[in-house]
Each structure stands twice: as C-alpha cells, then as structure tokens.
Chains A and B, each alone.
Chain A
Amino acid sequence: MNTRTSPVSRFISWAILALCVAYLTVPLITQFDYSLRMRRNTLSFDAYSKVLAIPEGSVELRQTTRGVTLKMPRFYSSLAFSVLAGVLTIAFSTLVIVPTTYWVHLRLPRLKPVLEFISVLPFAIPGIVLTLGLLRTYSAPPFALTNTEAGTMLMLVGGYTVFVLPYTFRSIDAGLRAIDIRTLTDAARSLGANWATVIWRVILPNLRVAVISASLITFAVAIGEYALVNFLFPDERSFGSYLAAMGRNKIYEPAALTIISYLLTWGLVLLIQRIARGTSQPSASIR
C-alpha cells in the first residue's frame, strides 16, 4: 500500500483538522474570555465567584412539616438535584436495559431487530413530542404520577431513561457482544447460580465499561436537560432550569456557568475513567 501522500493532500488534511478544532474551541475560548470581563477594563474571576459564592447563612438545615430539608445557594441545590436525577436514571436504566438486552441476546435473538428499532425511536421523535406524550399519559389517571413528589421524580427518571435509550442500549448491546454470555451463563448456572445471581455477579461485572460509558451520557443529559424537567418541576430547581434562568437575567454569569459545567463534565469523565481503570479486568482475552 502506498502510504506516502502529496504535500497538497497533507495540507488539506491539516486544514480540515484545524477547521474542526477551531469550530469546537473558538466558542469556548470566546465564552471564557467573556466570562472574565465582569469588572470593567480588567480580567477577573468575579463572575465565577458570584456563581460559586456561598454567602453566610445561605446554607441551613430546616425542620419542616415534611421532614428535614437542606437549603443551599441555587447553583449547588440545582446541581445536587440534577446529579440525583442522573444517578437515579443510571440505576433505573441499568436495571431495565441490562436484563432485557441480556435476555434477548440469550433466549430471543429474533427480537434483536425489534429492540434496535425501539432504541432509536427517541432519535426519530422530537424531544418536545416525547415530553408532551409522557406528560399526557402519565400525569393523568390511572397513573397520575405528578400528584406526588416521588411520582414526579419517577416520571423524570423514566423520561430520561427513554431520552438516553439510544446511547445506553447501544453501549450495553456492544458490551454483551464482546463477552461469551451464553457459556458464562451456563457455567454460572451449573455452579448453582439462579438467574438474578447470573446477571448480578457474572454479567454486570463484565459490562462495567459499557455501563460506565452509558452512565456518562446519562449524566450529561440529566445535567443539561430542560424541556421535561421544566414541565415536571416548574419551580426551576434543576440545573437545566437554573442555567436557563441565568441566561435570561444575567450577563456575565451564564458564560462563567457554561465554563463551569464544561469543566464539571470533564471532571466527571476523568473520575469515571479512573474508577473503570482502577478496578476493571480486561475481559477480551477470555477465549
């Protein structure tokens, strides 16, 4: 094979790469630059301090009729709320998707195309349609989930599970393809494992990387989602709502917030990668 390339084509490839990098980084750089200009004629981190500030008396434990609540500045409370929604979604979608996909792989391979079709539906249907559909169905009787706080949260988590289905399903599907689930299942069964034990102690640990990458996307969606959460929790307690509200009312803080959430996401990625590398065993060499 001829691996030598002409100077012209080399130039073109570099130019395309440079354009792509610029396309991705220039908005980030300008945003960062803008976030530093809160103080006139000088660069400062004032916008960041404003966003991250914890003024005296802003954190307190309050005893109310419904139990103990923790009051925090909005940046932290909204972030905590969305992280909670993310964690619950990860747990819920893992609980639903892993056993389902596993069972289809093992016993109902004919249904794989059906599952694949369902998994791309959230791509094909606009988010607002999904949101309104979910609301109309589950906020009205017989479900009436929005009548309670827990029910509303369940709806949010259920909605997010659907939103991220294309990513989570694909990731877990690929993970299952990479291991010999049939023989591992047989081996575990012959050693006395029931189905729950097989999934929990044999399949799930070998899907660690797949579940983690699915979790990452789930987190990103949960942190930034606006449409569904704003319908379900109109009091703007989510991070997405907080971001939107900031964008409406402030000038420099939204830019700072964008950079912060960008760094948060990266921090999360690194954290998850660290966890994955620290404990997982390569599974590719089983055969």
Chain B
Amino acid sequence: MAYLQLTDLRKSFGSTVAVEHFSLDVAAGEFVSFLGPSGCGKTTTMRMIAGFEMPDTGRITIDGEDITHMPANKRRVGMVFQSYALFPHLSVRDNVAFGLDLMRMPKPDARKRVDEMLDLVQLSIQADRYPHQLSGGQQQRVALARALAIQPRVLLLDEPLSALDAKIRDELRNEIRRIQLELKITTIYVTHDQEEALALSDRMVVMNAGRIEQIGPPAEIYNHPRTAFVASFVGTQSTLTGALTESRDALNLPGGQTVRFGTTLTHRSTGDSVTVHLRPEIIMLGEGADERNTFRGIVAQVMFLGSVVRLLVRADGHTLAADILNNPALRVPQIGETVAVHFAAEACHVL
C-alpha cells in the first residue's frame, strides 16, 4: 500500500486554479520529484502536504492516517526551503535542536540526535556558529539536518539547490540522495530543473498548468514522453510535423521529404498531421543508409557543452539539434558549413 497518498487534490486561489485532479501514490522510502515550469502548481501541492495550504477538495494520507485537515505543526513532515530559512538568532546546534526541543525530547537524547545529524551533513565543526557565518551550501546542509532531526514521516524539499552555485549544487545534490538512501526516508522534491529531477528521482511527476502531465521513472519520462509538453519540457528536442503516409509508418513533410519512423500508427488515418520528436543525441552527422531520414543543411550555431558539442542545423526550413560526443581530436563543423545529418527510424518518438 502507498505510504503517502494524495487523492484528487484541488486548490484554487480566488478564480485561479493552482492544482487540479492531482492523485499520486508514493511508496515508503521513495524519492519523487515534482517537475514543471513556475506556476505549474508543484509548490502548491507540496505546501498542501506540509499543511501550509489546505486543499479545497481531495485527501492526503500518510501511512493510512488522514492528515488533510491536520495543522502543519502536528504532521511531522520535514521541510527544506530554497532560502534555507534558518533561524538567524540561533546557532547551528540550536537550529537543529529546535524541533527536538518542541517535542520535549530529554536534553541528553536531543544532544545526541543533533550530533548525529550534524555528522550526517558533515558540519560538526561548525556546530556553534551562526547562520550568517556559513556559506549558502553549509546553511542548506544545516536546514537539511534540522528537518531530518525530528525524524519526519515525509521529507519535503522545495527547490533546495536553486540559490547555490553550480559546483556546490552538484555536491549537495549527491549528498541529498546519499542521505535519503541511507535513511530510507520518503521524499518529495520540487524543482524546475529537469537535470536535478532526472538525476535524483525514483519517479518524476511532470506538471503543467496545475495538472499532472506524466508520472514515471526518469528514463521513461525522457525516452517516452506521453505528451508534447513533457517532450519539450524535459530535455532538448527537434520536431518535424507532416502528413501520415498510406503505409502509416512515415510522414511527408511540406517540403516533400519523407521521414520514416519505426512503428506503424494503426490508430491514425492517412493524411493525419503527425509530429516526430527527435532528441539531439539520436541525430548523427553524415548520411544514413540509402539516404533514409537524411537532411542536408547549413550549420546555424555551434554550442560547446563540455561532454558534447551541440549543432543547430537548418535544413528545408526545419531546425535540427544534433549532439556529437566531444573528444580532443574532434573536428567541429563551422557555422555556415553545409553538413548532412540523419537519424534512425527506430529512434523517432511519434506523438
């Protein structure tokens, strides 16, 4: 049975519907990310789990207990905020001990727990410092320790890495996952950064305009997006739209070119408008066998991304993004150069 269960949640602010028809079952110890653009309702949903917002309709249960209308301070749900939200007047130790003190935990036990938590986030040395004496990354570690100290039933992380530098962000991201796996704590992670969501999650919930677009493991979301929104929001892609051919396994582009894809669309009829989504890593430089799915065009842009080099190729009015793996001996095509690109029919994702 699901540990955290959200059933048909709805929340509106005035005439604006923030979240609608939100249902999700989260297993104990699972790490689930809510991913979506700002205003998609992911934070509102998290705030409903925390008890900071009350849903208009729907139900929230943790381990079978209905907490839909329970005040936030009774839920034992830990939360980490983008702005850290450490208490400025308390030392690191007292910040972490805050929740334990409210639970009336005996002092020696609380002290032991605080030490454990600071050890977990590797901040034992800074225990007697104040928040303003710590770096952003350290402050967020304290916030994490503080949220974990009360042994919450669910841990909520609201864009915890957004305010940090790239390097610290990567470090802390790994740290969060390590701690989560170590403590086996059920975690909800809100982010607008798809890379974070893909890297961390057991499952992702992609949201748009207050509704769930798709729920699934990162690989499934990335490789088999179920809607055009998911395909465009998660990862980079190029699209080709045209009319379905008679054989229903290819489409004719307005320019006359034919694009073959690996499947036969039995449920669509000839002439239907169909869109093929192509990830940049499946588009290769050079011509395909028998010139299938091959486009000739001009390099419009070259982006060096470190491990890959991304080319934007303009061909017959379409722009195709192609990634080539970087290596020191690579000869990168120049802007304005004419190149051919191709892709395998099986790699096409049709929506």
On A, residues with C-beta under 8 Å from B are 179-180, 183-184, 186-194, 197, 201-202, 205-206, 208, 280-287
Contacts and interface: CB of A to CB of B under 8 A. Distances in A.
Contacts, number: 91
A184 B76 CA distance: 17
A284 B89 CA distance: 11
A206 B72 contact: no
A237 B131 CA distance: 48
Given A190-B72, A281-B132, A183 B81 contact: yes
A190 B88 contact: no
Nearest to A285: B132
Greatest chain B CB density within 10 A among A180, A192, A205 is at: A192
Contact of B87 (A184, A189, A190, A285): A184
User: Ordered nearest first, which 4 A-B pairs have the shortest CB separation?
Assistant: A191-B99, A285-B132, A187-B85, A283-B88
Interface in B210-246: none
A285 B50 CA distance: 26
Contacts of B86: 187, 286
A206 B89 CA distance: 6
B132 A184 contact: no
Given A189-B52, A190-B156, 16 more contacts: A180-B83, A184-B85, A184-B87, A186-B50, A186-B85, A187-B85, A189-B71, A190-B72, A190-B147, A191-B102, A206-B87, A283-B132, A286-B85, A286-B86, A286-B131, A287-B83
18 contacts: A187-B81, A189-B72, A190-B51, A190-B77, A190-B156, A191-B73, A193-B73, A194-B71, A201-B98, A205-B89, A206-B87, A208-B89, A284-B132, A285-B88, A285-B132, A286-B85, A286-B131, A286-B132
Given A186-B85, A286-B86, A191 B130 contact: no
A204 B86 CA distance: 15
A281 B103 contact: no
B83 A283 contact: no
A202 B84 CA distance: 15
Contacts of A183: 81, 83, 85
Given A186-B50, A286-B131, A286-B132, A192 B88 contact: no
B81 A189 contact: no
A195 to B, nearest CB: 9
B50 to A, nearest CB: 6
Nearest to B74: A192
Contact of B79 (A187, A197, A286): A187
A283 B89 CA distance: 7
B161 interface: no
Interface in B85-126: 85-89, 98-99, 102-103
A190 B89 contact: no
Nearest to A280: B89
Greatest chain A CB density within 10 A among B72, B84, B132, B143 is at: B72
A190 B99 CA distance: 9
Interface string B128-161: 0011100000000001001100100000100000
B65 to A, nearest CB: 16
B103 A192 contact: yes
Interface in B33-83: 50-52, 71-79, 81, 83
A197 B98 CA distance: 11
A19 B82 CA distance: 52
Contacts of B73: 189-194
Nearest to B130: A281
Contacts of A190: 50-51, 72-73, 75, 77-79, 147, 156
B240 to A, nearest CB: 45
Contact of B51 (A179, A189, A193): A189
Given A184-B85, A280-B89, A286-B83, A191 B98 contact: yes
Nearest to B79: A190
A205 B87 CA distance: 9
A185 to B, nearest CB: 9
Contact of A191 (B131, B150, B156): B150
Contacts of A281: 88-89, 130, 132
Contact of A192 (B81, B85, B99, B130): B99
B89 A180 contact: no
Nearest to B78: A190
Contacts of A192: 73-74, 76, 99, 102-103, 150
A205 B90 CA distance: 9
